[in-house]
Homo-oligomer: A and B are copies of this chain.
Amino acid sequence: MMKAHTPAPQLRGPSDHDVRDQIVEAATKYFGRYGYGKTTVSDLAKAIGFSKAYIYKFFDSKQAIGEVICSNRLSTIMATVDEAVTGVPAAPERLRRMFKALVEAGSYLFFHDRKLYDIAATSASESWPSVGAYEEHLKALVLQIVRDGRELGEFERKTPLDETVNAIYLVMRPYINPLLLQHNLDNAADAATQLSSLILRSLAP
């Protein structure tokens, strides 16, 4: 059986994708309405009309369901961010768009799906694998942009690549991590613009 630390969402029982999807879909609606923290698998089972035992055939805990919901939502944000930078040749502009798209997608989730945002915040405070994967994906995107910018001579090459990428990621992190973003929403759009400019000044060849 899988353990709680396994990077993939914990699934077990028959590999019946339809039922699993159905549970995730219903749970997304249910948690989206009543919140994740205070509801139990029993509450969820009652609301869906399944037995608790049946749900446990597919997910070994409430967190396992939360993980899939969180992972789905973060995948949507990643896709939005990837789309925002695709086809943009200049690395500086890609970096600006990445930061902007991130802040917009995160703020949108917060203001339009507050209860699902809370799942993401829980996942960040408890270091669930879904948030780890999200952070890694975004860090890889920063790496790609910096590498491309260096190759094109748009960015300086003196600073070790990993140091540059880490530091840029640290500047963006308060707008990526759901636990931090919720305290940064007041000025997030302006902050993303100003911080992008600062990062780009730091990258000047």
Contact = CB atoms under 8 A, between A and B. Distances in A.
Contact of A199 (B164, B166, B202): B202
A201 B102 CA distance: 24
Contacts of A164: 198
Interface in A128-166: 156, 159, 163-164, 166
Given A174-B174, A202-B199, A202-B202, A183 B179 contact: yes
Contact of A191 (B168, B170, B197): B170
A156 B156 CA distance: 16
Nearest to A171: B171
A196 to B, nearest CB: 9
Which of A156, A191, A201 counts the most chain B CB atoms within 10 A?
A: A201
Contacts of A198: 164, 167-168, 170-171, 199, 202
Interface string A117-130: 00000000100000
A195 interface: yes
Contacts of A125: 183
The prevalent SS among residues of A at the interface is helix
Interface string A162-189: 0110111011011001011001100000
Contacts of A166: 194
A205 to B, nearest CB: 11
A197 B163 CA distance: 9
A165 B171 CA distance: 15
A168 to B, nearest CB: 7
A163 B194 contact: yes
13 contacts: A159-B201, A167-B194, A170-B191, A170-B195, A171-B198, A173-B174, A174-B174, A174-B184, A180-B180, A198-B202, A199-B202, A201-B203, A202-B202
Interface of A: 125, 156, 159, 163-164, 166-168, 170-171, 173-174, 177, 179-180, 183-184, 191, 194-195, 197-199, 201-204
